[in-house]
Amino acid sequence: MPPLAIGAISAAAPSALDAELHTEPHRWSQVAERGSLWGMRFTAWSYRWLGRRACGVLVHAIVAYFFVTDRAGRRASAAYLRRIFATTEGRAALGAPPGRWQSFLHYREFALSIVDRIGIWFGHVDDFNYEMIGEEHLDAVAERGRGAILVGAHLGSFDALRLLAERKKSIVNVLMFTANAERINTLFRELSPDMDARVIRVDPGSIDSVFAIRECLRRGELVAILGDRIEPGDQNRAVRIPLLGDEVELSQAPVLLAALLGCPLLMILAFRERSGRYSVFAEKLAERVGLPRAEREKGVAELLTRYAERLEFYCKRYPFQWFNFFDYWQDEAR
């Protein structure tokens, strides 16, 4: 079987480094890229010719610039970190009340994840080590020869899953909304020309992606979805779920797809422990999603609540690796 191939993290991730909020800060899909393609190419060039360590030093200057100039991103970071600090586990992880320094570390962690991301896309897998926790869940899917839906988040590094190429013999396709991040997607297509082969692009006005997902699962492949944001066109299929002391809107799409296509639903996240070292966690949310018509809403809400509970657990454990630099809880809209 072909080696594990993950087309891309959702490069649509709005961030302090590549995006700026527009008129509706709580709608991530309306975020436009902020970083120039030239700047992104320069970072990739630095990695190729100077190495990961030198590039890691260089990126601190870039972080400082964006941190100073991105007021909206700083507000979003501070609001999130305050929610983390309000929990017992979060206080222990942060060590001090959130201030500008903690927000800078938040920005810095995102930048370092981008540096690693470039290295992974260059194919420098030998530069990285990882520990897999919950590998048995992926093994069970492979043994049965059927596909599964993998739901992740903008928490940690989804690209780090490519490190599993040394161990797994599966194909992972990624469902992506890319319209608001063409610059960074252009760069990563340059780094990895076969990127599009494993990307299922989301078109809000079409159901073609559903048929593409079904074909992938029929072949025993995996389909990965980032489930912590609402895609365009999904607003009417969102559910309000508790997360870090308040409610957020989560899309029903991962649950409904798993139910429609009769496949397992797994959660998978990868976290940077230190330079070149990652921990990858896989958890089973459902062996098979069953949603009787009379209890459909309840069943969806229960699975999304479980997903949100695990997101909260990992946010408290890795507080600086939450990469939603916008008004996620819609505090400013109240």
Per-residue pLDDT tens for 95-144?
Answer: 899 999 999 999 999 888 888 888 877 777 777 888 889 989 988 888 88
The bridge status of strand 172-176 relative to strand 222-226 is parallel
Tell me which residue of 278, 276, 145, 294 sits closest to 222, measured CA to CA. Answer: 145
Question: Quick one: DSSP state of residue 231?
Answer: P
Q: Which helix (H) or strand (E) holds 150?
A: strand 148-152
Per-residue pLDDT tens for 283-319?
Answer: 999 998 888 887 888 999 999 999 999 999 999 999 9
Residue 80, pLDDT score? 97
Residue 328, pLDDT score? 94
Confidence label for 13 from pLDDT (cuts 50, 70 and 90)? very low
Residue 179, pLDDT score? 53
Per-residue pLDDT tens for 55-65?
Answer: 878 888 888 88
Q: What angle do CA 244, 247, 249 make, to 5 degrees?
A: 120
Q: Which tokens is 98 given?
A: 């959130």
Residue 51, pLDDT score? 80
Is the predicted pLDDT of residue 197 greater than 50, yes or no? no
Confidence label for 1 from pLDDT (cuts 50, 70 and 90)? very low
Per-residue pLDDT tens for 237-255?
Answer: 889 999 999 999 999 989 9
Confidence label for 266 from pLDDT (cuts 50, 70 and 90)? very high
How many contiguous H segments (helices) and E segments (strands) does the chain have? 9, 11
The dihedrals phi and psi of 78, each to the nearest 5 degrees, come to -65, -40
Would you list the domain boundaries of the chain? 19-333
Residue 187, pLDDT score? 59
Return d(Cα 224, Cα 138) in angstroms, integer. 13
Residue 55 burial (CB count, 10 A): 22
Please state, in angstroms and as integers, the Cα–Cα distance from residue 45 to each residue in 58, 125, 191, 251, 308, following that order: 12, 18, 10, 37, 38
Is the predicted pLDDT of residue 181 greater than 70, yes or no? no
Instruction: Output the DSSP codes for 43-92.
Output: HHHHHHHHHHHHHHHHHHHHHHHHHHH-HHHHHHHHHHHHHHHTSHHHHH
Return d(Cα 51, Cα 47) in angstroms, integer. 5
Burial (CB count within 10 angstroms: exposed 0-12, middle 13-18, buried 19+), residue 262:
exposed
Residue 102, pLDDT score? 95
Q: Which residues contact 133 (CB under 8 A, 6 or more apart)?
A: 279, 280, 281, 282
Confidence label for 21 from pLDDT (cuts 50, 70 and 90)? very low
